[in-house]
Amino acid sequence: MSDLKTLETELLAAVEAAADLSALEEVRVRALGKKGQVSGLMKGLGDMAPEERKSYGQNINGLKERIGEALGERRAGLEAEDMAQRLASEQADISLPVRVGPLAEGRVHPVSQVMDEIAEIFGDMGFSIAEGPDIETDENNFTALNIPPEHPARQEHDTFYFGGQPDGSRALLRTHTSPVQIRTMRKEKPPIRIIAPGRVYRCDSDQTHTPMFHQVEGLVIDEETHLGHLKWVLEEFCKAFFEVDAIKMRFRASHFPFTEPSLEVDIGYAKVGDELRIGQGEEWLEILGCGMVHPNVLANVDLDPNVYQGFAFGVGIDRLAMLKYGMPDLRAFFAADLAWLKHYGFSSLNVPTLSGGLSS
């Protein structure tokens, strides 16, 4: 009996002393394994008298159980310690830069970047985004915009036409984003406040003209919006877009069949070496056309011109990109030159936001 007690004390001390899980496993094998000390005791049972065997057997089982329990507790303790240590030592530095992979190598085209910037600025002013197809009807691109057949303005647009239909109508590639005005006003009731970015096409090609380019249309229709609102919206837009506090803008009287009065807007800049400085200097670049929506256009979409009024504008996106990012040649935009894109493109992970900086 006393040798059992001694063994128990010794084994419990060994369990307690095991410093880690592998040391504990050694103690378990030494005590309870097939050739272990407790199993060894069982062998002596055969030589004993039945009475003695019974009580000795019970004692060994009790010992086995208590050692087993102690082993289990110690194991749980060691596992908890192990976990606490791992939690303290294994750290992930979430501020490490993302590994450069094929995704980070790709570049966002400056035109896409500028479109995102424009959407961000007008989104902040409460405009939503509208869309229309590149292939338009003559009606949406011209007639409903107060440019009837035979109107001289049609010649100015150098339109790409598709083959004629038996009824005489011809589909065309839209020459401006203004047909989205018509589509929007036919679908939605005022108040309307939208921008519509997209591709437009004119049969024209030289250093500053490409047969496809980009515009963003703006349209606001309600019962009281006036020219002062238009001017303020455009000024705020230009300041936010060029990321300057002061902007030089020139509003010139102009003519568009779908607005009355009509204006064209130039941006003042200085050329210092190869760099363009917006808001200073004596050079001017035309960036947009605008005006109050013509009463005939409102009537064409069944809005009463005596009740509703508002403004529209059409901005050349490619020109804005050239000005802001100092890219001199418009044709390079569409040449699919990877070296150019690598130089002028933007990281896809840098989404423009007003709070985080549009072009940072």
Of residues 8 and 138, the one with the C-beta less far from ligand PHE: 138
Among the listed ranges 74-82, 190-198, 295-303, 311-319, the one in contact with ligand PHE (CB under 6 A) is 311-319
Query: Is 312 one of the binding residues for ligand PHE (CB under 6 A)?
Result: yes
Query: Is 287 one of the binding residues for ligand PHE (CB under 6 A)?
Result: no
Q: Which of 289, 310, 319, 321 binds ligand PHE (CB under 6 A)?
A: 289
| Window 163-192: residues binding ligand PHE (CB under 6 A) | 176, 178
Of residues 102 and 152, the one with the C-beta less far from ligand PHE: 152
Q: Which of 122, 256, 269, 344 binds ligand PHE (CB under 6 A)?
A: 256
Query: Is 259 one of the binding residues for ligand PHE (CB under 6 A)?
Result: yes
Query: Is 300 one of the binding residues for ligand PHE (CB under 6 A)?
Result: no
Taking the complex as a whole, the smallest distance from the CB of residue 294 to ligand PHE amounts, in Å, to 9
SS (H, E, C) the chain: CHHHHHHHHHHHHHHHHCCCHHHHHHHHHHHHCCCCHHHHHHHHHHHCCHHHHHHHHHHHHHHHHHHHHHHHHHHHHHHHHHHHHHHHHCCCCCCCCCCCCHHHHCEECHHHHHHHHHHHHHHHCCCEECCCCCEECHHHHCHHHCCCCCCCHHHHCCCCEEEECCCCCEEEECCCCCHHHHHHHHHCCCCEEEEEEEEEECCCCECCECCEEEEEEEEEEECCCCHHHHHHHHHHHHHHHHCCCCCCEEEEEEEECCEEEEEEEEEEEEEECCEEEECCCCEEEEEEEEEEECHHHHHHCCCCCCCCEEEEEEEEHHHHHHHHHCCCCHHHHHCCCHHHHHHHCEECCCCCECCCECCC
Of residues 75 and 199, the one with the C-beta less far from ligand PHE: 199
Of residues 113 and 259, the one with the C-beta less far from ligand PHE: 259
Among the listed ranges 51-59, 230-238, 243-251, 307-315, the one in contact with ligand PHE (CB under 6 A) is 307-315
Query: Is 290 one of the binding residues for ligand PHE (CB under 6 A)?
Result: yes
Q: Which residues contact ligand PHE (rule: CB under 6 A)? A: 176, 178, 256, 259, 289-291, 312-314
